[in-house]
């Protein structure tokens, strides 16, 4: 049985909580009360089925009553974040075509009292706005955008596909009309061209002109309104938008042709008008499709957020909206479902696909006491979890905020392009007037119009404006897919400039947990016997070395083991226990061999280890050496960083001889041990004074000062919260090679941005003189202009694919 949908919030209304009011179902009393309030205000016609979502994109003149529904607290609880005493929301904007459109919307919003921050991302058409609710409302912000002719509403991930589908339908409708008009006008143009060479009756020629004019009017009035409206909105706000040259070129050509038709003397260019409008619309559609692909990784992350959860109340399951789950609630998760919130397993065991969080493709086993992250996929077992983090505090929500912020903030390199794009349109109009005047002076008005229009159409600042945003949005999505979270675009630039990489040892280059590295049994004692006797005692220990010994036994020879009795722990020395009537001691030699002669400790070998002795009834059985194992891929990572021209330094608070041994094994350039947290920060500062651009890779609280001081701070998986707070790059993947991938991705991204800018400038430097000299027709210009943007977006899309370990 399918649950009815709540008349207010649009979520499932499930028994026994369904409330019926005037024939409408509601999922809770809160929704019922909110709807009664809307009815009391007379806004139900605007609010309709699912709050302001159903209002849709409004025309340029906003209806205050309709906009007021955006201020409903229940609606805002889903899509508006509370940040201290401010509010923050993401808006989806329709009508954004160029960098000038972005600038115009940002300027309008920044002038609103109470708006403290505005960031609009060209590639995704999303705006991140922060405001003070006591000074301005969300409806006021949306109304300001709509008043200048653009369309806006809060971005709801659950309706992202619906919004894109609606925009695609509108674009395809305009394309269809333009295609129909162009095809018919071109057939007529063929007849006119034939008549030009073979002769045609004047009345027939005039008839064809009028028919072409009617079809062209339909195309420019409906399909061309896409450009005309953008140009007019910019002029009304005192801004020259990139739609202005296109609209001006189309209307000048159209009006000139109308004048020729009315006078009955001369040649018409209705075919040029319809053809280049059709080609430009095809280009816009392809560009929008490419942008959607560029933002695909981010959209996939947004779609990972479940909308509902099954909460156990007095042992009975009840489906509720995720926003209503509270910390401490018991949530039932069935096989195949996405985990709606962060929580700790209290019952059941399952395998979980955590690839969206860590980038690791293999499922991981999770059982009681272990944590599950919201947005991950439960694969094969039903579990019950206790909610530990909900709403904006979940791991997925924090990742989304970080990626959204990174995508919306402009890298410094984009500032130059934005300033160029802001002056671009005025320069284009000037060149078009000069071209028109020159060819008119040459004595041919038709050629003057054609060449002037070609200049207006062929120039393109869109490619320039897309150069950085398209590359950044693809790079951020690729990074998130690999379990690498970049704080912002500036981080990518700084990563590329890094010359010195400083790494902590424990938990970064090494696994961070001791492992049994060496077993040295005395003659007559087998290795398994030594390990088994030690594990009998140490499995009762919470000490890291004791856990390492227990793990080693389980990995080497899992099976029955004797039960220990009378376990005694002597802190800092070791453990004693009785098993099978024999006394076993494990720990420091002086403790284990108390009262006996202590033999010399074995030599360390290539890697310093911590030795534990094991004795049975006072007889030494042998030595167990434990060490913090180097990550298998550490040497490979250092090699790849060297291949990028980076110098690598190991900086640790551990003993100098241990740090040097790890450094030699991994191939780093310099090793410094015995350093306290303030010493690490001082060492980073010293490198910066020498002119190095530093990146610090750390994981612990003791790394936080150095991370904060470094030019770029990278933290590895399972880092301490204080370290994460200081991070520019968070590596969620346990694969240490993510460090090298982050640097490689940054370098490829910046190289791609520079390629995009170089192409855009070269395109305009070549195209404009060709158009001014009469070597490019308006139709050829209409084909070239969108192709330039597609080349830039296509070049950026290459960042979706590796190999990221490639140092070049």
- Extract the runs of DSSP E, i.e. beta strands, from 438-572: 484-486, 500-503, 510-521, 565-570
End-to-end CA distance of the chain: 58
User: What does the alpha-carbon distance between residue 756 and residue 746 come to, in Å, rounded to a whole number?
Assistant: 15
Set 271, 418, 504, 711: catalytic member: 504
User: What does the alpha-carbon distance between residue 808 and residue 644 come to, in Å, rounded to a whole number?
Assistant: 7
Structure tokens at 709: 């001081």
Cα angle 243-159-229, degrees, rounded to a multiple of 5: 15
Parallel, antiparallel or unpaired: strands 80-83 and 86-94: antiparallel
Spatial CA neighbour of 307 closest among 54, 84, 78: 78
Cα 352 versus chain centre, distance: 22
User: CB of 704 within 8 A of CB of 685?
Assistant: no
SS3 183: helix
Question: Given the structure tokens 């991938």, which residue do they identify?
Answer: 741
Output the CA–CA distances (angstroms, integers) from residue 426 to 461, 462, 572, in the order listed.
Answer: 11, 15, 77
Residues paired with residue 406 on neighbouring β-strands, in sequence order: none
Spatial CA neighbour of 243 closest among 277, 293, 291: 277
User: What does the alpha-carbon distance between residue 105 and residue 148 come to, in Å, rounded to a whole number?
Assistant: 8
Contacts with 667 (C-beta within 8 Å, 6 or more apart), sequence order: 635, 638, 639, 642, 648
Annotation marks residue 504 as catalytic? yes
Structure tokens at 550: 């227990």
Contacts with 245 (C-beta within 8 Å, 6 or more apart), sequence order: 425, 428, 429, 432, 456, 457, 459
Element (H, E) at 368: none
Element (H, E) at 64: helix 64-68
Edge-to-edge order in the sheet of strand 484-486: 484-486, 729-731, 712-715, 694-698, 500-503, 647-651, 670-672
User: What does the alpha-carbon distance between residue 12 and residue 489 come to, in Å, rounded to a whole number?
Assistant: 39
SS3 92: strand
Structure tokens at 584: 């076993």
Provide DSSP, 201-258.
-HHHHHHHHHHHHHHHHHIIIIITHHHHHHHHHHHHTT---THHHHHHHHHHHHHHHH
User: What does the alpha-carbon distance between residue 263 and residue 257 come to, in Å, rounded to a whole number?
Assistant: 10
User: Could you give the angle at which helices 160-198 and 202-218 cross, rounded to 10 degrees?
Assistant: 170
- Extract the runs of DSSP E, i.e. beta strands, from 296-354: 308-313, 316-321, 330-333, 342-347, 350-353
Contacts with 653 (C-beta within 8 Å, 6 or more apart), sequence order: 673, 674, 675, 676, 677, 680, 702
Please state the φ and ψ torsions of residue 165, each to the nearest 5 degrees.
Answer: -65, -40
Output the CA–CA distances (angstroms, integers) from residue 494 to 403, 773, 782, in the order listed.
Answer: 17, 43, 38
Enzyme catalytic residues: 504
């Amino acid at each position: 049985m399918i649950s009815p949908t709540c008349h207010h919030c649009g979520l499932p209304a499930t028994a026994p909580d369904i409330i019926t009011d005037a024939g409408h179902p509601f999922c809770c009393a809160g929704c019922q009360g909110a709807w009664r309030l809307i009815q009391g205000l007379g806004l139900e016609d605007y609010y309709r089925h699912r709050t302001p979502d159903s209002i849709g994109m409004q025309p340029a003149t906003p209806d205050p009553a309709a906009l007021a529904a955006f201020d409903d607290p229940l609606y805002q609880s889903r899509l508006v974040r509370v940040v201290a005493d401010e509010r923050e929301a993401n808006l989806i904007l329709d009508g954004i075509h160029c960098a000038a459109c972005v600038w115009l919307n940002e300027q309008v919003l920044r002038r609103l009292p109470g708006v403290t921050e505005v960031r609009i991302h060209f590639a995704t058409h999303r705006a991140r706005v922060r405001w003070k609710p006591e000074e301005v409302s969300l409806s006021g912000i949306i109304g300001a955008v709509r008043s200048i002719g653009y369309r806006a509403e809060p971005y709801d991930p659950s309706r992202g596909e619906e919004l894109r589908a609606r925009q695609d339908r509108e674009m395809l409708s305009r394309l269809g009309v333009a295609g129909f008009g162009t095809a018919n006008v071109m057939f007529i143009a063929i007849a006119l061209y034939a008549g030009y060479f073979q002769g045609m009756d004047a009345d027939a020629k005039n008839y064809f002109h009028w028919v072409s004019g009617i079809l062209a009017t339909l195309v420019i009035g409906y399909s061309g309104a896409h450009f005309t409206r953008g140009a007019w909105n910019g002029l009304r706000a005192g801004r020259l938008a990139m739609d202005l040259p296109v609209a001006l070129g189309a209307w000048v050509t159209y009006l000139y042709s109308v004048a020729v038709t009315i006078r009955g003397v001369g040649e018409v260019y209705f075919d040029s008008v319809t053809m280049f409008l059709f080609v430009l619309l095809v280009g816009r559609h392809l560009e929008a499709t490419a942008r959607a692909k560029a933002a695909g990784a981010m959209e996939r992350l947004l779609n990972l957020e479940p909308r509902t959860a099954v909460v156990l109340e007095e042992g009975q399951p009840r489906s509720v909206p995720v926003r209503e789950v509270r910390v401490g609630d018991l949530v039932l998760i069935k096989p195949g479902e996405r985990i709606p919130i962060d929580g700790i397993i209290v019952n059941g065991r399952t395998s979980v696909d955590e690839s969206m969080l860590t980038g690791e493709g293999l499922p991981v086993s999770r059982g009681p006491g272990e944590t599950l992250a919201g947005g991950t996929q439960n694969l094969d077992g039903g579990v019950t979890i206790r909610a530990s983090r909900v709403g904006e505090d979940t791991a997925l929500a924090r990742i989304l905020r970080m990626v959204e912020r990174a995508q919306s903030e402009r890298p410094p390199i984009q500032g130059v392009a934005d300033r160029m794009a802001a002056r671009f349109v005025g320069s284009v109009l000037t060149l078009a007037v000069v071209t028109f005047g020159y060819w008119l002076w040459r004595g041919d008005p038709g050629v003057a119009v054609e060449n002037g229009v070609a200049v207006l159409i062929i120039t393109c600042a869109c490619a320039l404006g897309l150069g950085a945003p398209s590359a950044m949005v693809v790079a951020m999505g690729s990074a998130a897919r690999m379990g690498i979270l970049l704080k912002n675009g500036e981080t990518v630039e700084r990563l590329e400039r890094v010359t010195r990489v400083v790494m902590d040892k424990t938990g970064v280059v090494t696994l961070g947990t001791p492992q049994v590295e060496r077993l040295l049994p005395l003659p007559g004692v087998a290795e398994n016997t030594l390990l088994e006797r030690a594990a009998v005692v140490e499995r009762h220990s919470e000490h890291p070395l004791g856990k390492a010994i227990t793990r080693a036994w389980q990995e080497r020879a899992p099976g029955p083991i004797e039960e220990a009795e009378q376990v005694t722990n002597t802190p800092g020395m070791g453990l004693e226990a009785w098993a099978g009537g024999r006394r076993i001691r494990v720990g420091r030699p002086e403790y284990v061999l108390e009262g006996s002669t202590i033999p010399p400790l074995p030599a360390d070998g290539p890697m310093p280890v911590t030795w534990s002795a094991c004795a049975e009834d006072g007889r030494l059985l042998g030595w167990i050496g434990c060490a913090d194992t180097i990550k298998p891929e550490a040497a490979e990572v250092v090699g790849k960083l060297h291949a990028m021209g980076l110098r690598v330094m190991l900086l640790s608070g551990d003993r100098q001889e241990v740090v040097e041994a790890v450094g030699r094994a991994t191939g780093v350039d310099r090793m410094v041990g015995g350093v306290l947290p303030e010493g690490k920060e001082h060492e980073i500062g010293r490198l910066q004074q020498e002119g190095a651009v530093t990146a610090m890779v750390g994981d612990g609280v003791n790394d936080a000062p150095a991370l904060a001081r470094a030019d770029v701070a990278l933290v590895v998986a399972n880092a301490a919260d204080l370290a994460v707070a200081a991070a520019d790059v968070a590596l969620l993947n346990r694969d240490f090679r993510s460090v090298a991938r982050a640097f490689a991705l940054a370098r490829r991204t910046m190289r791609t941005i520079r390629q995009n800018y170089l192409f855009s400038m070269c395109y305009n430097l070549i195209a404009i003189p060709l158009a001014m000299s009469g070597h490019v027709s308006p139709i050829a210009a209409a084909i070239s202009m969108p192709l330039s943007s597609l080349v830039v977006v296509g070049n950026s899309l290459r960042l979706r694919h590796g190999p990221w370990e490639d140092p070049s």
